[in-house]
Structure 1
Amino acid sequence: MSDETDEDRFFRELGGVCAELRQAFPRHVGLSPQRVQLLVRLRRDGETSHSDLRRALGLDGATVTRLVKEFEAEGLAGRRLDPADNRYTLAALTAEGERAAAELERAHQAYQERLLDGVTERERELVLDVLRRLRANMTSQEEP
């Protein structure tokens, strides 16, 4: 007999699905989650400093530098010193990188559509309502 409560089961399932979702698309396209995040971030933000990428993606500086250098070697990105402050390095997608990122975003949209196959609009709204309520409840729990 299990001592797991309904609440335990709910949060275990929710957490499991969230963890799987973070990994599923990168695995589907054969890229690491960090490579996917970096490509998308550079496409959305344009030329960005390594330090801003580190903060935005929650990665350490060495990982950002390694990924940008990999993209550079593959012809997907370029780097240059920030002309306003040469202590910082800026990264930007090349035309080839822009094409790769655009294709990645198209693939992601199609992937999301397949994941939602058979899920009605009403069911989606219900899940969103529950997630909003959870977020509101967390916020209220954090207040003194």
Structure 2
Amino acid sequence: MGRDETSEDKFFRELGGAYAELRQAFARHVGMSPLRVQLLVRLRRDGEISHSDLRLALGIDGASVTRLVKEFEAEGLVGRRLDPADNRYTLAALTPAGERMADDLGRSHQSYQERLLDGVSTQEQEIVLRVLRRVRANVTERENR
């Protein structure tokens, strides 16, 4: 630990660093930007979704969402249409080619995770999961006070 670094500082620095490194490393592994990976994963998970909901889910501005979706559309991976319930909104969904790419990405992610956990026992994984659940519960408790 650094001179003034507490155990809490070290814990959250390592946690944040590991998360950031994992997202970047997988994106590099598949040759895509992290945002492109996130967008494909979100569309695979949620199906058709509005640009506005994508903006909130990805934590980026609307112009960035539009740019990414248009890039995917130009590649034949995403289709867009006006929301029939409210034509102020644009909906995006994976095309069949996009679904195949997202499925490939999902399989690649699964095998990547398995390789990263090589040498980490199931018991060790469960300990980390319990700690993370407790931290998240503490966050929720603090926010609800």
Task: State whether TM-score is above 0.5.
Answer: yes
> Where does residue 122 of structure 2 map in the other structure?
121
Shift of 1:61: 0.6
> Where does residue 80 of structure 1 map in the other structure?
81
* Residue 61 (1) aligns with residue 52 (2): no
> Where does residue 93 of structure 1 map in the other structure?
94
| CA–CA distance in structure 2, aligned partners of residues 98 and 30 of structure 1 | 18
Q: 1:84 to 1:24 in 2, by over 3 A?
A: same
| Counterpart code for 2:3 | S
> Where does residue 107 of structure 1 map in the other structure?
108
Shift of 1:88: 1.2
| Counterpart code for 2:90 | T
Farther off after superposition, 82-91 or 115-124: 82-91
State the 4+ residue runs in structure 1 displaced beyond 6 angstroms: none
Q: Which runs of 5 or more structure 1 residues have no equivalent in the other structure?
A: none
Please tell me the root mean square deviation across aligned C-alpha atoms, in Å.
1.6
Matched residues, percent identical?
76
Q: Matched residue pairs, number? A: 144
> Where does residue 134 of structure 2 map in the other structure?
133
| Counterpart code for 2:86 | D
| Counterpart code for 2:87 | N
Q: Which runs of 5 or more structure 2 residues have no equivalent in the other structure?
A: none
Deviations 1:34-86 (A, max 9, x none): 11111111112212111111112212110110011000110101111122221
| CA–CA distance in structure 2, aligned partners of residues 73 and 107 of structure 1 | 24
| CA–CA distance in structure 2, aligned partners of residues 33 and 67 of structure 1 | 12
| CA–CA distance in structure 1, aligned partners of residues 59 and 94 of structure 2 | 20
* TM-score normalised by L of structure 1: 0.91
